[in-house]
Amino acid sequence: MAVRRLNHAVLYVRDLASTVDFYTYALGFEVRMEIPGTAAFLRAPGSANDHDLGLFSVPDGALPGGAYLGLYHLAWEVGTLAELAEIRERLAARHALVGASDHRVSKSLYAKDPSGIEFEVMWRVPAEDWDQEMATGAMIGPLDLERELARWGDRATGAAAGSVT
């Protein structure tokens, strides 16, 4: 299997401010980006990830579609875009693929397991290219995996490259 490591977790939380305060105080996370009252993205000390923990505010504890407080998804990291493309085919064959996004610093697929639990499989853009990527447009857009394969080739990043930087 091409999955190399867990890259990040995303949680639905009732009180965004107190949850951000908790993780920054208790575990030393730093706030990387915050959308006041809506979402925050935190990074663990010494991490090379864009974020290790995403938090989305759900003040009343329930979301449309039956989602609830707690785990939204885990993100599994692959080493190359070719591996991401292979996983896309496997997920599609199981009718599990539910989405794909270009987050500029990562290229992501979203799927659901047989219990309906959502997860992400992503490839991380080389860290030295993050600033350039973030300047290229909207934070989240549709993923054109073929275009990204043509652009980046089979470049290994993260754990597949022998490090997490």
> 140 burial class (0-12, 13-18, 19+ CB within 10 angstroms)?
exposed
Average pLDDT in the 28-56 region? Answer: 91
What is the rounded CA–CA span in Å between residue 55 and residue 20? 8
> 82: buried, middle or exposed (CB in 10 Å: 19+, 13-18, 0-12)?
middle
3-class DSSP state of 121: strand
Can you give the residue ranges of every domain in the chain? 3-161
Q: What is the pLDDT of residues 118-142, one digit of tens each?
A: 888 899 899 898 888 888 777 788 9
For domain 3-161, which CATH number applies: 3.10.180.10, 3.30.200.20, 3.40.605.10, 3.40.50.1820?
3.10.180.10
pTM: 0.70
Q: State the Cα–Cα distance between residues 81 and 7, nearest whole angstrom.
A: 15
**pLDDT tens readout for residues 93-109:** 889 999 999 988 899 99
